[in-house]
Structure 1
C-alpha cells in the first residue's frame, strides 16, 4: 500500500519535473535617470543553449542587424530622452507569449534572474506595487531582480 501511494505521488509530480526550460533573450530598456523600464522576452526555437543565445546577441549588437531575436527599438520616438538597453540570455520554465511590436506595455513584472541565468517572472498589479515588493526583498535578491513593464503574458 505504501509503495503504491509513493508511486502515485511520484507520477503526480512528474509533470512539474518534466517542465522544460526555454532560452530567452531578455531585453530591458530603462529610461535614463528613472526606474521606468520595459522588457521583452524573445524566444527562438532553434536556439536551445545560453551559449548560442549569447553569440546571437553579440552578433546582433555588433552588426546592428538582428538575424535572430529580431526586435525594434524606436529611438525616433525618444526625442529628448536617454535610455539604455540591457540584453541578457536567460532560461525559464515559464512560457511567455510571443513579443509583438503591438499593444501598450500593461503587464508589470518583478523579474528575478539568478546567478545561473534562471529567470522567474512574478506578475504585480502595477510598477509601483512591483517596486514595493522589490524593496521588501533581501539585499541579495534585490541585486538580482528588477521591475519592468511588458506587453507579453505568462501562459498558464
Structure 2
C-alpha cells in the first residue's frame, strides 16, 4: 500500500531516483531527535548533472528546473532515511545555493524550484523557512545545490 505522499508523487508524474552516494567525506543524512538533516543535493537526473552559472550561461527558468531536480533528490534521500514519506510532519528549512555571475540577483526565483515542489508534494507541511544564496562555484560545476531540514514523526 502506498502512502499519501507516494500517491501525490505519482499524481505529479514523479519517480524518485535511487539516492546518490556522497562524493566526499560526509553522510547523505543524519537524524537528531525528530529532525532529519539531508546533505546538499545536486541537480542530477537521467540526463546528467545540470552545470553552469546563472546569469551567464543558465537561464532563471533552467535554474528553477535544476532546483526542482535537487528537491526530487532530497525527497529520495528522505524516503531512504525514513522509509515512509508520510512520516514527514514539516519541511522546516531549505538552503539553496546558486552558482551565479556577479550582479545576478534572482536567487529567490531559482530557489522557488525546490520550494514549490516541497509544497506540491507535502502540502502545508511543505511550507518552510529558506535561504537562497549566490556563490561563484558549486561542487562538480553544478548550477544549484539544495539541502533541507525535515521534522518527522
TM-score (norm 2): 0.28
Q: Rg bigger for which structure? A: 1
Structure that is richer in helix per residue: 2
